Amino acid sequence: MNNNINTDNQNNEIEFNGVKYMRKDLIPTNSQDGDIKIVVLQRGWVYVGNFYRGDGTDCKLTNASNIRVWGTTKGLPELVNGPTKTTVLDKCDGVVEFDWLTVVHTITCNTSKWVGKL
């Protein structure tokens, strides 16, 4: 078997058979590129953050917070336009990872209303 392996000068990236791989510690955990979504998971867990769905059923939220208290009068969808004065968010350090099969539903948020609140 002839495997073609190349690395960059700083060993931060490796190419194996034409596929590039990056060191895990160099991938930003607070990336803000994905759509901001409220994600309701099984067992009543509710999170908000930048949502990514990877290959298969792997999902993650970066820059995420657990919504401990909704603080709404019209239900969870009221948070589409940002948290209310009485919403309680618990910042999650790192990345929240979960399987797509544990998602009850997602709500896409108005990103401009959540800037600086996650």
Is residue 41 situated within a structural domain? yes
Number of neighbouring beta carbons within 10 Å of residue 114: 22
pLDDT in tens, 52-69: 998 789 999 999 999 999
Residue 16 lies in a domain: no
Question: Does residue 30 register a pLDDT over 70?
Answer: no
Range of the domain at 38: 28-114
**Residue 11 is assigned to a structural domain of this protein:** no
Read out DSSP for 28-78?
-TT---SPEEEEEEGGG-EEEEEEEE-STTEEEEEEEEEEEE---SS-GGG
Please tell me the total count of domains within the chain: 1
Rounded average pLDDT over 83-87 = 97
Tokens of 96: 């929240």
Cα–Cα distance, 27 to 41 (Å, whole number): 25
- Average pLDDT of the chain? 86
Higher pLDDT, 68 or 32: 68
Structure tokens belonging to residue 29: 């955990």
- Residue 69 belongs to domain with CATH number: 2.30.30.100
Residue 9 included in any domain: no
CB 71 within 8 A of CB 88: yes
The verdict on residue 48 lying in a domain is: yes
Q: In this predicted model, which residue has the larger pLDDT, 45 or 2?
A: 45
Classify residue 79: in a domain, yes or no: yes
Residue 55 covered by a domain: yes
pTM of the model: 0.72
Residue 102 located in a structural domain: yes
